[in-house]
Structure 1
Amino acid sequence: MKAFVALSICLVLFSCNALVSNALDTVTTNQSIRDGESLLSAGGTFELGFFSKGDPPKRYLGIWYKKIHMTIVWVANKAVPLADTSGNLTVTSGGSLILFDGNGSGIWSVNLPIPVLNPVAQLLDSGNLVVRDADGSDSNRTLWQSFDYPTDTFLAGMKLGWNRTSGFDRHLTSWKSIDDPSPGNFTYQLDRNGYPQFLLKQGSDIKYRSGPWNGLRWSGSPNLKPNPYYSFGFVLNEEEMYYHYELLNRSVISRMLLMPNGILQRSVWIDRTHDWTPYLTRPTDQCDNYASCGAHGSCKVDASPMCRCLKGFVPQFSQEWDILDWSNGCVRRNPLDCKKDIFVLYSSLKLPDTRTSRFNESMNLQECKVVCMKNCSCTAYSNLDIRNGGSGCLMWFGELIDIREFSDSGQEIYVRMAASESALLPSHQKKHEPVMGLAVSFGSVFLILVLLTICVLQCKKKNMELPEGDNPEDQEEDLELPLFDLSTIAIATNYFSTDNKVGEGGFGPVYKGVLMGGQEIAVKRLSMTSRQGLHEFKNEVRYVSKLQHRNLVKLLGCCIQEENLLIYEFMPNRSLDSFLFDPTRREQLDWSARFNIINGIARGILYLHQDSRLRIIHRDIKASNVLLDYEMNPKISDFGLAKSFTGNETQANTNRVVGTYGYMSPEYALDGVFSMKSDAFSYGVLVLETVSGKRNRGFHHPDHRQNLLGHAWRLFTEGRSVQLLDEVVKNSCSTSEALRSIHIGLLCVQRCPDDRPSMSAVVMMLGSDIELPHPKEPGFFNERNLLEESISQSQPNEITMTGLSGR
């Protein structure tokens, strides 16, 4: 009898387990799915269970196509694999879904937003794992779903994008390799800056951009057209913005996969061949590579060469284009003059990067033109939606980046051009040229009045000193910049509200503002009591307005009406020092971002020293003067202390030594001698700070009294440079890149200027594997003893140490 009872119990338990592993799509409270068991969706399309990847093999909980051998579409514990087959998935009475290891430790879990009486987990035939309350008033309401947490696969019914209310983001992340589901280097994410578009990134670097949604498809995918197998669309409202697709034929099996190598591929399963057949791949060719032709450059894949400037633009550096280096893009053939400008139509294009765009869904194209014309910072406009003849308004502010030409199905965009480019206008627009001529005449009168006003204002300020080395005849150059009304800037900054204040320096405060067209700006306001600020103001107007480089902050205009104001593009991530030296925010600067910053600053300084219209010495390279854009790309700012050279000049002397402790070269701090090698020294300090996450000035070590330069030198000579690395990047960085960066940093801070490399050599060393020379002893490696003592014994130059905050 006992044997019969025992056998009966075993049969019952076996039947329960068989229900979980063979038939059920649902698991209920206190049930478990153990390794070897699974859930099967009602239609038999998808299965949830445990699988192995890697060598040695690791175990993961995931979802795959039942009839397609191990095509994984979702992984739960991608970052925390199981070492053996002891895992089990349990729905607890408290409403949690927990994956336990063999020790009873939860390694992955789902916590529901509200308590429920009878939670159940169900695998749907769409491939979505959902958790709901079986006894609730709305038993079909989803409380959690795997579709909200996609891995590398985009399935029908998913939403790829943002909940604008909660800030919740759904995006794809590649596997690290085909045998390692842990998060890889590539992401495919809807970018919310400006008008939404998808960005394919490797770390923080953009590799491909979809272009904006035009009502029918993404601008960069003209071949994405309606078909009988699935529908697709983009939703943008007050609560959500997302892309989705739905299967129209349930017999079709389709997926979009972000592969470990960064290729985004949409494919269908073909039963006859038992294989996935791709029919859409991004990036497809060289023209899909982000910004391959630089600003205002257009890429056409079947042309030779594939890059050319938009009509009305010319290569910024023609010698680079001659060797097929298009990265620095194009500049205008003729400068703009705001009120006189015209708009030229360009057709069959992938629309430019929209991260600095603004949009309005209710405007028509003519209204869009009027608004763009009134805003001197608006560089182009287009229809937002191309359906039914076009509607909505999309406007660009700043450079036009990542454009490509298509043979057909591209889009139209109107680009702001100088009136002298009227020959580019199509014939149907040229009939308006007499009106334009009249406008130009009025504009000329207006310009004369503006210049007279400026002269009056400058007479009132006749007691202002010119920056050192300026000549009165140079003042005409100061006007090569758009002028803003004080009232416009006051409104944009909420009348210089303290809530809008984002920084403070020797010149005065900096405010964030938003112009009427929606463009974000940073406003530098000259302090009424600052004499040094006046020099800075005039220098910025004189120099920065002439500089155009992706690693230099862009000066949009100025105001000299009652107050002196400088208006810049706004950098949302503030300055490098706000991340680098902050105990919590520095973790956001992984090695990829830091190495990109090291390279970007080098390229920016090289442009100043060698490739700009003027040969410029910055004289204040430091972490707080490096600003970071939306993508953490570096831009050098603050040219108030800059000096320009002409001809074959390479160095100069000054009686006013200005700069920042810890970044100044010995020959500049002690003798007032500055040169391009002075900037190289400051750059070397900045490299060592970026690698280590420590400030040079104020650095303390328990074993010695040397500053950061001395500490780095000591570690290098002892073969221990790796110990200089910031702890937060040690486990993720490329050791060879980091050690090379330290080596280059030490070459730049050598005591003798002649020993330091030029910035062109630095850029070459960063981008190659050439053997580096052995660095000599750095200057000021024991700052507290040498620098202060030397300054006190040096000739009586005026020593002005500034510490300006980031803009």
Structure 2
Amino acid sequence: MREIHSLFSLSLFLISSSLSVALDYNVITPKEFLKDGDTLSSPDQVFQLGFFSLDQEEQPQHRFLGLWYMEPFAVVWVANRNNPLYGTSGFLNLSSLGDLQLFDGEHKALWSSSSSSTKASKTANNPLLKISCSGNLISSDGEEAVLWQSFDYPMNTILAGMKLGKNFKTQMEWSLSSWKTLKDPSPGDFTLSLDTRGLPQLILRKNGDSSYSYRLGSWNGLSFTGAPAMGRENSLFDYKFTSSAQEVNYSWTPRHRIVSRLVLNNTGKLHRFIQSKQNQWILANTAPEDECDYYSICGAYAVCGINSKNTPSCSCLQGFKPKSGRKWNISRGAYGCVHEIPTNCEKKDAFVKFPGLKLPDTSWSWYDAKNEMTLEDCKIKCSSNCSCTAYANTDIREGGKGCLLWFGDLVDMREYSSFGQDVYIRMGFAKIEFKGREVVGMVVGSVVAIAVVLVVVFACFRKKIMKRYRGENFRKGIEEEDLDLPIFDRKTISIATGDFSYVNFLGRGGFGPVYKGKLEDGQEIAVKRLSANSGQGVEEFKNEVKLIAKLQHRNLVRLLGCCIQGEECMLIYEYMPNKSLDFFIFDERRSTELDWKKRMNIINGVARGILYLHQDSRLRIIHRDLKAGNVLLDNDMNPKISDFGLAKSFGGDQSESSTNRVVGTYFGVLVLEIITGKTNRGFRHADHDLNLLGHVWKMWVEDREIEVPEEEWLEETSVIPEVLRCIHVALLCVQQKPEDRPTMASVVLMFGSDSSLPHPTQPGFFTNRNVPDISSSLSLRSQNEVSITMLQGR
């Protein structure tokens, strides 16, 4: 039926195309065509839909279908951003189903709204296409029922009434994607989205980077904590933040008759434009505003401020000290601070108020979803959990309400002269002193100041000598152990990486920063540089060198050598051009590059790599940090396990021990993430509070379909049994009792055969609030009872 209608529409267009009169529509029906030169206008004549060129000088024939402000002109949405028309013979048609269809001069479909819609198509009785006064292009059935709308698919611009966020029930996600250049609207390097892990927060990310570029922060009732200028705008705009089990989103509407747009430009800047009385676009706000706005520029427990020279300056919070004695304050995220006196939960810690701050990163936080707890309730809850490092109100209106708890280091903070927020940080009890003691301390301090300075100078000099001595000893140790491992000098590595240029920066792990480099012979390398504040350190560095120096397997990343010179410790690996597995599977667009054959190859490759570590390598190794970010991909998408800093070797008589099976739990979770494209900890579902593992287990036990994103490879019927078998094996790997979990040797055999599999029992770890014990129903389970349903993507 769709094909017949398309042919009929094309015939009508051929008949009408001889008319060269440009038309301006208010509404389009399936009987009309919007050809190049025609426009569709909003009722108030503010917005128009039509064809336009962005580069009149070099590419005037490249035409786009888009929506724009009429005066002053500003493009706000582009339909065919990835696929420009050539010439002026293109036209837009509205089908009888309500689909928008864009054709070129040869009547080839270049874009269709049905390819982006998450709603199932059905016959519409009276399809209409119109533009609302808010700038929303709407395909509707009659005047009410919305079939498709452009507000659900933002480009680089947010208008009043649009959303940023996610609907967990429909999996609809609203985010901004920058243009590639000012004259190329195809997706660029930056995205602005709402991170729903912990307390939801707006984040700006450069595509491919493992960390954020800029964090606008979480909503505090008046503004996002990383953009206090929004608080000063409250006389102009009303901001709305919605958070529920089904949906989390942010939107804004103007007060009075203000015309405004929020644009993510191609350089990663967020601009707020307001239309002036002179009918011009005026730049009202820019984010990031300065260098202190960039993510975690000063590291943990440190704040950034702009000094008199208009440059960023880092300082530790009171009661904290730098992790490194070396220059650290301008080094972006590489350093930070630690408690002067460590916290000790057994000895009554106290909480100190730090006012006027940008709230730290809330990725790993807990918050009071109902916003009902008082600040005192929040303090009690944080005090009762030794892992809780700080607390604050989620809403600063009406004196403050709601509770937010942090777990782990506090990063990405800065000081504000106004509109900052109070954060209460856990401190060692000895740091809480009375003012009287501070006076005594000042007197005593003045007496012993000279002695302290001398001691510090001596200690620093001795520390530097000892570090150099330990480095030389370690270097000799490697040579004496005959590890057959090349040792590079620092000059060679410095030249290869462009003196560790930020251009060659690949990412950061627990070990420290990783840089891309090229040796004199042309070989590309990846250099892991031990950071001064690394969570691992020299011992883990030694461990990684000794464990993998002689490992040889196609599914393990190859260590090419190391560099130990004075305080410098570096590992040199083969370079993996396709980055890590998480770069693909957790990205909606890039995940399409991994069909089932590639995913199965990655699963098998990781399994074989782990089997080699457990059974066939000389030392027998347990990895202990297996995750998507530690699985690298070569040119052919073959997996290679990396990052052995936390790995542990065990004896030859332990091959069947529980230790050998523990890593299976991590492997099982990884398999589920590869299949579903969802992170275990970041998974959200409208019907429950389980993580990904808990969700899959719940679906398995209840004989319900396991939802995975819509992919072309799932349309092949031969693939479904393999996918189900992988899910079955994954659940076997995460069983609660270690003795029930298969060894990796058994796992490899399970993937390579069609033999029947045992029934899995309840997993040993998943977030679970309200789910009863459901292991008793396993006797009813058979492998064929589970099915898969595809979630349609945009």
Equivalences for residues 455-474 of structure 1 within 5 A:
none
Deviations 1:391-450 (A, max 9, x none): 111011111110000112210011111112113x899xxxxxxxxxxxxxxxxxxxxxxx
The question of 1:120 aligning with 2:128 is answered yes
Deviations 1:743-796 (A, max 9, x none): xxxxxxxxxxxxxxxxxxxxxxxxxxxxxxxxxxxxxxxxxxxxxxxxxxxxxx
Identify if the C-alpha distance between structure 1 residues 690 and 383 changes in structure 2 by more than 3 Å, giving closer, same or farther. closer
Residue among 260, 269, 273 paired with 1:267: 273
> How far is the alpha carbon of 1:167 from its aligned partner?
2.0
Equivalent residue number for residue 202 of structure 1: 206
Equivalent residue number for residue 430 of structure 2: 420
Equivalent residue number for residue 283 of structure 1: 288
Say how many residue pairs are matched.
Answer: 494
Q: Distance in 2 between matches of 1:419 and 1:42?
A: 66
- Structure 1: which 5+ residue stretches go unaligned? 1-8, 428-548, 555-575, 577-590, 593-597, 622-640, 644-656, 669-673, 700-723, 730-801
Equivalent residue number for residue 90 of structure 1: 93
Residue among 139, 144, 148 paired with 2:152: 148
2:221 counterpart letter in structure 1? G
The question of 1:193 aligning with 2:193 is answered no
1:32 counterpart letter in structure 2? F
1:684 counterpart letter in structure 2? Y
> How far is the alpha carbon of 1:322 from its aligned partner?
7.0
Residue among 130, 140, 143 paired with 1:132: 140
Q: Distance in 2 between matches of 1:67 and 1:42?
A: 15
Deviations 1:90-123 (A, max 9, x none): 0111332111111212111123634312211111
Contact 1:156 1:246 (8 Å CA) reproduced: yes
1:43 counterpart letter in structure 2? D
Contact 2:36 2:90 (8 Å CA) reproduced: yes
> How far is the alpha carbon of 1:698 from its aligned partner?
9.8
The question of 1:400 aligning with 2:410 is answered yes
Contact 1:665 1:681 (8 Å CA) reproduced: no
Deviations 1:694-716 (A, max 9, x none): 989999xxxxxxxxxxxxxxxxx
Equivalent residue number for residue 314 of structure 2: 307
Equivalences for residues 770-785 of structure 1 within 5 A:
none
| % same residue | 35
Contact 1:314 1:332 (8 Å CA) reproduced: yes
The question of 1:21 aligning with 2:29 is answered no
Equivalent residue number for residue 254 of structure 2: 247
Deviations 1:225-257 (A, max 9, x none): 35444322211122221111112323x221111
Contact 1:339 1:373 (8 Å CA) reproduced: no
> How far is the alpha carbon of 1:370 from its aligned partner?
1.5
Q: Helix, strand or coil: the match of 1:42?
A: coil
Identify if the C-alpha distance between structure 1 residues 676 and 30 changes in structure 2 by more than 3 Å, giving closer, same or farther. farther
Q: Distance in 2 between matches of 1:210 and 1:667?
A: 40
1:311 counterpart letter in structure 2? Q
Identify if the C-alpha distance between structure 1 residues 728 and 60 changes in structure 2 by more than 3 Å, giving closer, same or farther. farther
Identify if the C-alpha distance between structure 1 residues 186 and 323 changes in structure 2 by more than 3 Å, giving closer, same or farther. closer
> How far is the alpha carbon of 1:620 from its aligned partner?
4.3
Equivalent residue number for residue 707 of structure 1: none
Residue among 325, 336, 339 paired with 1:332: 339
2:377 counterpart letter in structure 1? E
- Structure 2: which 5+ residue stretches go unaligned? 1-11, 437-506, 518-522, 582-597, 610-632, 639-743, 748-764, 766-794
Q: Helix, strand or coil: the match of 2:292?
A: helix
Contact 1:173 1:183 (8 Å CA) reproduced: yes
> How far is the alpha carbon of 1:153 from its aligned partner?
0.8
Deviations 1:475-512 (A, max 9, x none): xxxxxxxxxxxxxxxxxxxxxxxxxxxxxxxxxxxxxx
Contact 1:383 1:392 (8 Å CA) reproduced: yes
Equivalent residue number for residue 104 of structure 1: 107
Q: Distance in 2 between matches of 1:421 and 1:330?
A: 16
Identify if the C-alpha distance between structure 1 residues 346 and 146 changes in structure 2 by more than 3 Å, giving closer, same or farther. same
1:128 counterpart letter in structure 2? N
> How far is the alpha carbon of 1:665 from its aligned partner?
8.5
Q: Helix, strand or coil: the match of 1:371?
A: helix
Q: Helix, strand or coil: the match of 1:388?
A: helix
Q: Distance in 2 between matches of 1:392 and 1:167?
A: 27
Contact 2:525 2:572 (8 Å CA) reproduced: no
Identify if the C-alpha distance between structure 1 residues 297 and 145 changes in structure 2 by more than 3 Å, giving closer, same or farther. same
Identify if the C-alpha distance between structure 1 residues 41 and 383 changes in structure 2 by more than 3 Å, giving closer, same or farther. same
Q: Helix, strand or coil: the match of 1:287?
A: helix
Identify if the C-alpha distance between structure 1 residues 299 and 605 changes in structure 2 by more than 3 Å, giving closer, same or farther. closer
Equivalent residue number for residue 65 of structure 2: 61
Q: Distance in 1 between matches of 2:579 and 2:228?
A: 42
Q: Distance in 2 between matches of 1:357 and 1:102?
A: 54
Q: Helix, strand or coil: the match of 1:126?
A: coil
Q: Distance in 2 between matches of 1:100 and 1:109?
A: 9
Equivalent residue number for residue 374 of structure 1: 384
Deviations 1:650-678 (A, max 9, x none): xxxxxxx985646699999xxxxx9969x
> How far is the alpha carbon of 1:204 from its aligned partner?
3.8
Q: Distance in 1 between matches of 2:524 and 2:422?
A: 36
Q: Distance in 2 between matches of 1:664 and 1:98?
A: 47
2:154 counterpart letter in structure 1? P
Equivalent residue number for residue 465 of structure 1: none
Which of 1 and 2 has greater Rg?
Answer: 1
The question of 1:409 aligning with 2:419 is answered yes
Equivalent residue number for residue 324 of structure 2: 317
TM-score (norm 1): 0.55
> How far is the alpha carbon of 1:618 from its aligned partner?
4.2
Contact 1:350 1:406 (8 Å CA) reproduced: yes
> How far is the alpha carbon of 1:601 from its aligned partner?
7.4
> How far is the alpha carbon of 1:175 from its aligned partner?
0.7
Q: Distance in 2 between matches of 1:323 and 1:95?
A: 55
Equivalent residue number for residue 221 of structure 1: 227
Q: Distance in 1 between matches of 2:386 and 2:68?
A: 54
Deviations 1:62-84 (A, max 9, x none): 01111223x10110000111111
Q: Distance in 1 between matches of 2:557 and 2:228?
A: 53
Equivalent residue number for residue 721 of structure 2: none
Equivalent residue number for residue 174 of structure 2: 170
Equivalent residue number for residue 509 of structure 2: 551
Q: Helix, strand or coil: the match of 1:320?
A: coil
Equivalent residue number for residue 460 of structure 2: none
Contact 1:298 1:309 (8 Å CA) reproduced: yes
Contact 2:64 2:81 (8 Å CA) reproduced: yes
Q: Helix, strand or coil: the match of 1:408?
A: coil
Contact 1:63 1:73 (8 Å CA) reproduced: yes
Q: Distance in 2 between matches of 1:370 and 1:616?
A: 37
Q: Distance in 2 between matches of 1:675 and 1:186?
A: 35
Identify if the C-alpha distance between structure 1 residues 603 and 310 changes in structure 2 by more than 3 Å, giving closer, same or farther. farther
> How far is the alpha carbon of 1:130 from its aligned partner?
0.3
Contact 2:193 2:202 (8 Å CA) reproduced: yes
Q: Distance in 2 between matches of 1:82 and 1:332?
A: 60
1:75 counterpart letter in structure 2? V
The question of 1:297 aligning with 2:206 is answered no
> How far is the alpha carbon of 1:727 from its aligned partner?
5.9
1:244 counterpart letter in structure 2? S
Deviations 1:501-537 (A, max 9, x none): xxxxxxxxxxxxxxxxxxxxxxxxxxxxxxxxxxxxx
Identify if the C-alpha distance between structure 1 residues 323 and 233 changes in structure 2 by more than 3 Å, giving closer, same or farther. closer
Deviations 1:438-467 (A, max 9, x none): xxxxxxxxxxxxxxxxxxxxxxxxxxxxxx
Deviations 1:291-327 (A, max 9, x none): 1111111011236761101111111112132776663
Moved more, 612-621 or 143-152: 612-621
Q: Distance in 2 between matches of 1:295 and 1:16?
A: 67
Identify if the C-alpha distance between structure 1 residues 396 and 63 changes in structure 2 by more than 3 Å, giving closer, same or farther. same
Q: Distance in 1 between matches of 2:354 and 2:162?
A: 36
Deviations 1:355-377 (A, max 9, x none): 11110123221121112112111
